[in-house]
Amino acid sequence: MSFSLTQAFGSAARHLRPGWPFKFGGAKNGGLAVLSACPGGVAAVRLERTGLKFRVATFALQEAPVVTAGILAHLAGEAGLKKTLLIALLPPETYQMLLLETPVVPDDELTSAVRWKIKDMVDYHIDEAVFELLKLPGGGSGRPSYLYAVTAPAQAIRELLALYREHGLAIEVIDVEETAQRNIGAKLEPPGHAVGLLRVFGERGLLTFTYAGELVLARRIDLRGVPAAEMMDRLVLETQRSIDYFERQFHVLPLAKLYLAPMADSDALYRQLHEQLTLPVERLDLGLIFDFGDYAELQQPATQARVFHALGAAMRDRKAAA
């Protein structure tokens, strides 16, 4: 990568390693845990793998209209995570997921080729961009291959890191919602098939498609300014358009089903998706993936909806982050 991380983040910066997400390394021991903003607050999640499920070993949720360094430090102390390497989710308004055909260049020239392709696709100077590449499955045999360039302004990364470093919290990984959601979707795939996963919260929707454990396509659905009476129609329309696009562009990957992520009241949306989509629809039971143990609040769909991406990001282990 030609961008100077020392210039971007200061002398304490870690070097990003190839591939997504942004990784910084760390000096502390132990596994990984999520400490990150979520809708209306901050969530702390640490998982342990037990058989086929992930057991929630640590969970805390703090209401907070604005995330501050003090709130992060307080919740880290409450959850026993002050000496743990942490995963933070980058706010979705601060980064872009740019879907590109993979440039036909030698591997050692790929970063430069992508940099050239995206320089007019971001609204800040390319020299101020930090980006990583996420290669997608499905190419080969004469078919074009695709990748995502996950790009953010260096200032956004600096500001996020500063919140944690103010009180000595150690960031190991900065992740994004799309790959956190992929981690959950990957556990739902029937062998040899892709699945879609739709998560809706407030005026934002995120639809991801996974195959063989990898993200193939991600689509954000912006509902801001849409009258409440029209929101479900818009969601269904945009979801069907995304399914159509996936089936055209990635037709070699058979699409089995669409899962609807937990939400406070999913009945009406589920019925409309079920009646109008061409693809089978199923409400996601997170109990198939997670053992919530003694954390009764995590049994509630409203809480699951708030911490959905925190749970997904926490599925990453140290080996995956290395």
CATH classification of the domain holding 217 = 3.30.420.40
For residue 308, is it left (φ>0), alpha (ψ between -120 and 50) or beta?
A: alpha
Secondary structure (3-state) at 121: coil
Domain range for residue 101? Answer: 93-153
Is residue 177 in some structural domain? no
Residue pair 118/98 in contact (Cβ under 8 Å)? The answer is yes
Cα atoms found within 13 Å of the Cα of residue 259, Cβ hemisphere only? 22
Q: Is the pLDDT of residue 179 over 90?
A: yes
Query: Nearest 5°: phi and psi at 213?
Result: 80, 5
62 beta partners: 42
pLDDT tens column, 90-104: 999 999 999 999 999
Q: How far is CA 201 from the centre of its chain?
A: 14
Q: Is the pLDDT of residue 36 over 90?
A: yes
Cα gap 89→76, rounded to integer Å = 15
Q: Are residues 148 and 190 in the same domain?
A: no
Q: Are residues 204 and 278 in the same domain?
A: yes
Q: Are residues 208 and 251 in the same domain?
A: yes
- CATH number, domain at 115? 3.30.1490
Secondary structure (3-state) at 137: coil
Quick one: pLDDT at residue 21?
Answer: 57
Percent of the residues in the chain that have a pLDDT greater than 90, as a whole number: 77
Quick one: pLDDT at residue 7?
Answer: 32
Cα gap 312→111, rounded to integer Å = 28
Cα gap 103→123, rounded to integer Å = 22
pLDDT tens column, 217-228: 999 999 999 998
C-alpha angle 127-129-130 in degrees, rounded to nearest 5: 125
Is residue 174 in some structural domain? no
Secondary structure (3-state) at 45: strand
Mean pLDDT in the chain? 88
Is residue 178 in some structural domain? no
DSSP state of 76: H
Cα gap 278→268, rounded to integer Å = 18
Quick one: pLDDT at residue 231?
Answer: 93
Cα gap 94→155, rounded to integer Å = 10
| Mean pLDDT of all residues in 137-141 | 65
Q: Is the pLDDT of residue 15 over 90?
A: no
**21 prior amide bond cis, ω within 30:** yes
Q: Are residues 199 and 275 in the same domain?
A: yes
Q: How far is CA 195 from the centre of its chain?
A: 16
Least confident of 29-43, 226-240, 266-280: 29-43
pLDDT tens column, 248-285: 988 889 999 999 999 988 999 999 999 999 899 999 99
Q: How many domains are contained in the chain?
A: 2
Q: Is the pLDDT of residue 11 over 60?
A: no
